[in-house]
Amino acid sequence: MALLSPAISSLARMRQWRIDAWRSHPIDSQREVIQNLVTSAQYTEFGRKHNFHNIYNIRDFKKAVPICEYDDLKPYIERMMRGEQNLLWNSPIFWFAKSSGTTSDKSKFIPISEESLEDCHFKAAKDVLTMYYSYNPDSAILTGKGLVLGGSHTINPVNNEAQYGDLSAVLLQNSPFWGTGFVHPTWRLP
């Protein structure tokens, strides 16, 4: 493990340029993200309903898409939990993060796609390590194990394919190989 930390530190330095670009151009970065999301979702039921194919900038988005609360999206989410696809996102949704209620319900369910796992959660973990190593280049943080304190370790079946659990349990269950060797306890549900 001692050899791994310098290698990760080198990888982190290579990623730092991208983080610096986001910091230097935050508006452009946000525009790129929203355009990619709108383009990806344009053929979903929600995207067709709100004419995503005619959205070319933030002003168009504000005109086409009303401000939504969880209760507005709940009918789509309930259908997704029963197995329907292509409603809010264009790739299959098999996981839902269960969150404690900040809505009229006791709990709410947040759809988790492969893209959200990769492009949000796991990329954020890489970016945190990148920034940490940027400020602490001689760190030995990844030479041992880290304690993981997660939420519910029970992934509850919703239908034949979809499951739900606390976000931390969903993330741990879907962690890529590079994220599992440094944590304790290690676990995977069957």
pLDDT tens, residue by residue, 67-87: 999 999 999 999 999 899 999
CA–CA dist 183, 113 (Å, integer): 23
Q: What's the pLDDT at 45? A: 98
Tens digit of each residue's pLDDT (9 = 90 or more) over 24-50 = 999 999 999 999 999 999 999 999 999
Q: What's the pLDDT at 104? A: 66
Residues 6+ positions from 168 with CB-CB distance below 8 Å: 149, 150, 151
Residues 6+ positions from 158 with CB-CB distance below 8 Å: 81, 82, 96, 164
Tens digit of each residue's pLDDT (9 = 90 or more) over 123-134 = 888 888 888 888
Strands 156-157 and 183-184, by their bridges, are unpaired
Q: Which pTM does this prediction carry?
A: 0.80
CA–CA dist 33, 42 (Å, integer): 14
Average pLDDT, the chain: 83
Q: Flag whether pLDDT at 171 surpasses 90.
A: no
Strands 93-100 and 107-113, by their bridges, are antiparallel
Backbone angles phi, psi at 139, to 5 degrees: -65, 150
Domain parsing of the chain, residue ranges: 4-184
The number of helices, as runs of H, and strands, as runs of E, in the chain is 9, 6
Q: What percent of the chain has pLDDT over 90?
A: 39
Q: Flag whether pLDDT at 153 surpasses 70.
A: no
Q: What's the pLDDT at 87? A: 98
